[in-house]
Chain A
Amino acid sequence: MADVPLLTLLLAVPAAVALLIAVMPREAVRPIRSVAMGGSLVTLGVAVAVLAAFEVGQPGFQLEEEVAWIPQWGISYRLGVDGISLLLVALTAFFMPLVVLAAWHQHERAKGFFVALMAMGAAMLGVFLALDLILFYVLFEAMLVPMYALIGIWGGKQRRYAAIKFFLYTLVGGLLMLVAILYLYWSAGAQSFDYDVLRGLELTGTEQLWLFLAFFAAFGIKVPIFPFHTWLPDAHTEAPTVGSVILAAVLLKIGGYGFLRFSLPYFPEATISLAPWMLGLGVIGVLYGALVAMMQRDIKRLIAYSSVSHLGFVVLGAFALNQTGAAGSVVQMVNHGLSTGALFLLVGFLYDRTHERAIAEYSGIMRVTPVFGGLFLITAMSSLALPGLNGFTGEFPILLGTFAAVPLAGIAATLGVILAAIYLLWAYQRMFHGPVEGRAVGLTDLTPREIGVVAPIVVLMVAIGLYPGPLYDRVNPTVEVLVEEVVAVAEGADVATVDQTGDPAAGSDAPIELDAPAGSDLDSADDDDEDEEVSR
């Protein structure tokens, strides 16, 4: 097992499938989608193998691979997974066969569509696995092109505008990050872009501040953090269903991932001094997203703004600077991927039937299509963090972590949960209940294929909701080390910058204490999980 380059395989399979489809004749729609499905399933299989090979309880990188790429410039091809990336990799691979199935009846320019989809998969997996900053940047930007094509070619009426906006926003952020990466390289003097080499740099406070802001430009736009979120509703609304799903389920996670992977460990001082601001932006994101979502008339736009709100929680968790919050933030990324991905899929199925996204055009869908209504309800409940479903298992620890860091922020963010219940249930009530009217008349229920797309996600929602232990087992060790590292800097730094975490002396203890309430039901799960490990 150890000899197989699993991570390279994980990238190579979708990339190879993309190339294979590119040389197939474009009339061969059926073979093309079969190849795409086969490739996605193999990718998922490799991801499962990675999950199995991952050693739980070890904080560092695992399954590492390294080959010199451009040795003259100190650039290498280095891959690895740890607790932060593992789940996101699994999430990406999990969604690949689902989106292929969701796009099963994509006949319009099917060849290009599946090439873009597979290329996207390879690049996204690569972003989570890359441990060389240039490799990371290359894959980060490489995602841009297929996503841009997905929105711009197969999107809605305003697709050109949305696609160009998406492209330019992301490009600007990425280039600023590139300049920061080069600065790191230059100041490292080590002539290397290796993740670990650059992690050990001694940077002054001012340098850290500027570099943090440059990385923030890339990741903040990706998350997206208020006020850099304006590209997202456009992109989401105009993208085809599959594009929205990829965007929500995976692509936006790169922002949160980037914060945890790069911003925190690379610039701890800047992180600590800017944490209050980041928390503030997170809270604004949570509340603003929720309030704007409430006002939407278009169901897809509503979900897009709910994304802004839910991802605000990810920012809160990451910058609460305690283990509870950070681990919650990773799990929240997975959960948001599942629930928002499923919501976009369901809305997509509805749109396929009626070509109408206005909430007001629907009424009483539940009576016409009970299966659709039921799945939508479960997904909405998961999205609004109903205990017992997955959403809760991420948002609750984040709220706890945030409350421990800045109580006020925690309280304000909790409002976001309430608002989520309001906008989702209100929309649900308007669309699914009441007399059968408008476009709901004559609606057909989900086909087996469509159920097959959403069912696996719903199964995971319930499974994670009831039993999140395995997730936390994998995330916690890595996050613990990360937070300890940052907090250690806080202890050495000015007390003034630390006061939001309470007593600085308690800084290092805080995460452990905080873990208790968060993990009360998780801890019990841990024991069970150990048994599982043995049995495996």
Chain B
Amino acid sequence: MSALAQQLPAGVEIPEIPWAAISPELTLFGAGILVLLLDTAGERRRSASAIALVALLGIAALAAIPGEAAPVVVALLIGAGVVQLALTLWLHTRPRLLGAVLTVLAFAATIGIAAWQYQAAANGGPVATESLLADMVAVDGVALFTRFVVAGAGIITVLLGFAYLQDRRIHRGEYYPLLLLTATGMTLLASAADLLMVFLGIEILSLALYVMSGIARRDMASQESAFKYLLLGAFSSAFLLYGIALVYGATGTTHIATAGAELADPATPAGLVFAGIALMLVGFAFKVALVPFHMWTPDVYQGAPTPVTAFMAAATKVAAFAAFLRVFTGGMEQLAWIWVPAVSVLAAVTMIVGAVLAVVQDDLKRMLGYSAVAHAGYAAIGLVAVSDIGTGATLFYLLAYAVMSLGSFGILTILERRQRKAIAIADLRGLGQRAPALAAMFALFLLSLAGIPGTVGFIAKFGIVRAAVDAGLVWLAVVLVVSSVIAAYFYIRVIVAMFMDEEPAHLADLPVPPASAASTGVSVAAVAVIALGVLPPAVIDLAERAATFAG
């Protein structure tokens, strides 16, 4: 490495690569490539084992590169290599299962690494919490929290999708690599300390998601969803990039913290400051779906294959909000007077419009899409509180929303498999009698989305309201309450259909969905909804301590 450095012209520094800090991204990305390669082998034993063997060697080489890596790390890396080789030899006849298992393992490893990083950071260990990689990446509280949520959501998504994709004959080999890549983009986005990394993260996650939402190639709705997402995503990226360019023009840097400080300097041209902030705001508002930049959400959520929708709702929201928080709350705290009023209004409008439009929906995926819009509004309140309490509240809200949305979209994947069509409210009639456990869990998720006490939804909303009142934004708290009441109506409507309506004959003939990987995933989400709703202190603590931004 030093030889390489000598060949470079003077003035170019090779940044020290903090392997430990970016190991979750490396894990996800590496697993994505591996699963993609294994997929090319199909069911051929020899090719599959060759690829796995090469991967093992590659991993072993990687373990040697850092040189000073601890023996534990080397052992873990080689262990991972051996595990994937063994799995490949065992499961090579069922490539999709192999892909799914490896994906789950990669996500689990990410959670493990993130937990270690969290522990290490808390104890002042080897993971630095300041900006790394030439100030491009920051492994701070927000980043770590996002890693947990994204990886957890990833595992549940795999569980939800397996049988569903099989049934719809869209269980393509590229599905799992794309899932891992989009997760890589998300964690990268959440740990971006530089506006360019923000842009890169958004692009990585979006490109993979565009393909995933269009993976049902013969389904017009899925194609439409992918196309819309692509167009509007490109549109919003353009806004964001233009905003970044203006900020760079005004300050001469794309480093978030430095640029934020420069922007606040009165000497900086006001026009550039306002325009830059406004354009970036539009970009982020698109990504997190604040009204009036929410138009794509219902269409995309409705058209994409349901497990993809679940992942989009749960994980994309967290990652996008993490970057939103980092750039605005973290980076431009001093400019709060410019953007807080704007985002407050957007949040208020979002809460009301999302809830009102959800009321008139009949298709459940679309309804949950509008509800996702309303929930983006709730989460945004923690952002405009511009405080640690607010950031913590938003992070906890996103975790809660991830659990609730994975659960409810998960239920929809199970029901869609059973009925082989999109689910409208009328299709749920009598489900409480037919499949009581499933209906009870769905009711639980809906009550949680409505914010009824005893569920995580309540605790999360409570945290948001507390942050709002603390920041003197009582009016936003009141809007949240109004929106919640409107929203309660349509969640209740679904529960009414499930438990209080008679089952129509054409539904009675269908078999009861058996226990499956998807029902396991949904059950995990249900347990989380109750556990976090009844005994949340530990996770609140996690979220509040995660409310730190690296400088």
A residues bordering B, Cβ < 8 Å? 26, 68-73, 109, 112, 134, 137-139, 141-142, 144-145, 148-149, 152-153, 159-160, 163-164, 167-168, 171-172, 175-176, 178-179, 182-183, 185-186
Q: A152-B500, A182-B466 are in contact. Are A175 and B537 (CB under 8 A)?
A: no
Question: 9 shortest A-B CB distances, which residue pairs?
Answer: A138-B453, A141-B453, A175-B481, A152-B500, A186-B469, A182-B469, A70-B537, A142-B454, A72-B540
Is A153 a contact partner of B489 (Cβ separation < 8 A)? Answer: no
Docked Cα-Cα span, A171 to B458, in Å, equals 13
Q: Which residue from A68, A178, A185 sits with its C-beta under 8 Å from B481?
A: A178
Is A164 a contact partner of B492 (Cβ separation < 8 A)? Answer: yes
Is B481 a contact partner of A179 (Cβ separation < 8 A)? Answer: yes
Q: A70-B537, A186-B469 are in contact. Are A141 and B481 (CB under 8 A)?
A: no
Is A171 a contact partner of B485 (Cβ separation < 8 A)? Answer: yes
State which residues 449-496 of B face A: CB under 8 Å.
452-454, 458-459, 462-463, 465-466, 469-470, 474, 477-478, 481, 484-485, 488-489, 492, 496
Question: With contacts A68-B537, A70-B537, A72-B541 known, what are 8 further pairs, Cβ within 8 A?
Answer: A70-B459, A73-B463, A73-B540, A141-B453, A148-B492, A153-B432, A160-B496, A175-B484
Most buried by A among B436, B458, B496: B496
Docked Cα-Cα span, A137 to B458, in Å, equals 11
Is B540 a contact partner of A145 (Cβ separation < 8 A)? Answer: no
Query: Closest CB of chain B to A154's CB: distance in Å?
Result: 9
Q: Which residue from A138, A148, A153, A167 sits with its C-beta under 8 Å from B454?
A: A138
Find chain A residues with CB under 8 A from B458 CB. 138, 141
Which chain A residue shows the least CB distance to B500? A152
Is B481 a contact partner of A73 (Cβ separation < 8 A)? Answer: no
Is B537 a contact partner of A183 (Cβ separation < 8 A)? Answer: no
Is B492 a contact partner of A73 (Cβ separation < 8 A)? Answer: no
Docked Cα-Cα span, A179 to B488, in Å, equals 17
Find chain A residues with CB under 8 A from B436 CB. 26, 112
For the complex, is B499 an interface residue (Cβ under 8 Å from A)? Answer: yes
Find chain A residues with CB under 8 A from B492 CB. 148, 164, 167-168
Docked Cα-Cα span, A145 to B451, in Å, equals 12
Query: Closest CB of chain B to A521's CB: distance in Å?
Result: 44
Most buried by B among A141, A171, A186: A171
Is B478 a contact partner of A179 (Cβ separation < 8 A)? Answer: yes
Query: Closest CB of chain B to A335's CB: distance in Å?
Result: 31
Docked Cα-Cα span, A153 to B466, in Å, equals 35
B residues bordering A, Cβ < 8 Å? 432-433, 436, 447, 452-454, 458-459, 462-463, 465-466, 469-470, 474, 477-478, 481, 484-485, 488-489, 492, 496, 499-500, 536-537, 540-541, 544
Is A167 a contact partner of B453 (Cβ separation < 8 A)? Answer: no
Which chain A residue shows the least CB distance to B499? A153
Please report the number of residue pairs spanning A and B whose Cβ atoms sit closer than 8 angstroms.
82
Interface of A is mostly: helix
Is A142 a contact partner of B500 (Cβ separation < 8 A)? Answer: no
Find chain A residues with CB under 8 A from B541 CB. 72
Find chain B residues with CB under 8 A from A148 CB. 492
Docked Cα-Cα span, A145 to B432, in Å, equals 15
Find chain B residues with CB under 8 A from A164 CB. 489, 492, 496
Most buried by B among A72, A142, A186: A72
Is B496 a contact partner of A163 (Cβ separation < 8 A)? Answer: yes
Q: A70-B537, A138-B454, A182-B469 are in contact. Are A172 and B485 (CB under 8 A)?
A: yes
Is A69 a contact partner of B537 (Cβ separation < 8 A)? Answer: yes
Find chain A residues with CB under 8 A from B488 CB. 167-168, 171
Most buried by A among B447, B484, B500, B544: B500
Is B453 a contact partner of A168 (Cβ separation < 8 A)? Answer: no
Most buried by A among B447, B465, B484, B499: B499
Is B466 a contact partner of A73 (Cβ separation < 8 A)? Answer: yes
Which chain B residue shows the least CB distance to A72? B540
Docked Cα-Cα span, A186 to B473, in Å, equals 12
Query: Closest CB of chain A to B358's CB: distance in Å?
Result: 16
Is B470 a contact partner of A186 (Cβ separation < 8 A)? Answer: yes
Docked Cα-Cα span, A134 to B484, in Å, equals 18
Is A183 a contact partner of B496 (Cβ separation < 8 A)? Answer: no
24 sample A-B contacts, Cβ–Cβ < 8 Å, listed by A number: A26-B436, A70-B537, A72-B544, A73-B540, A134-B462, A137-B453, A138-B458, A141-B453, A141-B454, A142-B453, A153-B500, A160-B500, A163-B500, A167-B488, A167-B492, A168-B489, A175-B484, A175-B485, A176-B481, A179-B477, A182-B466, A183-B474, A185-B466, A186-B470
Docked Cα-Cα span, A175 to B482, in Å, equals 9
Which chain B residue shows the least CB distance to A135? B453
Query: Closest CB of chain B to A133's CB: distance in Å?
Result: 12
Q: Which residue from A68, A70, A145 sits with its C-beta under 8 Å from B447?
A: A145
Find chain B residues with CB under 8 A from A185 CB. 466, 469
Which chain B residue shows the least CB distance to A183? B469
Q: A142-B453, A175-B481, A182-B465 are in contact. Are A72 and B537 (CB under 8 A)?
A: yes
Find chain B residues with CB under 8 A from A142 CB. 452-454
Query: Closest CB of chain A to B515's CB: distance in Å?
Result: 16
Docked Cα-Cα span, A145 to B491, in Å, equals 12
Docked Cα-Cα span, A145 to B544, in Å, equals 30
Docked Cα-Cα span, A148 to B537, in Å, equals 29
Is B499 a contact partner of A182 (Cβ separation < 8 A)? Answer: no
Query: Closest CB of chain A to B374's CB: distance in Å?
Result: 15
Docked Cα-Cα span, A160 to B540, in Å, equals 37
Find chain A residues with CB under 8 A from B433 CB. 109
Docked Cα-Cα span, A114 to B488, in Å, equals 25
Query: Closest CB of chain A to B426's CB: distance in Å?
Result: 14
Is A70 a contact partner of B540 (Cβ separation < 8 A)? Answer: yes
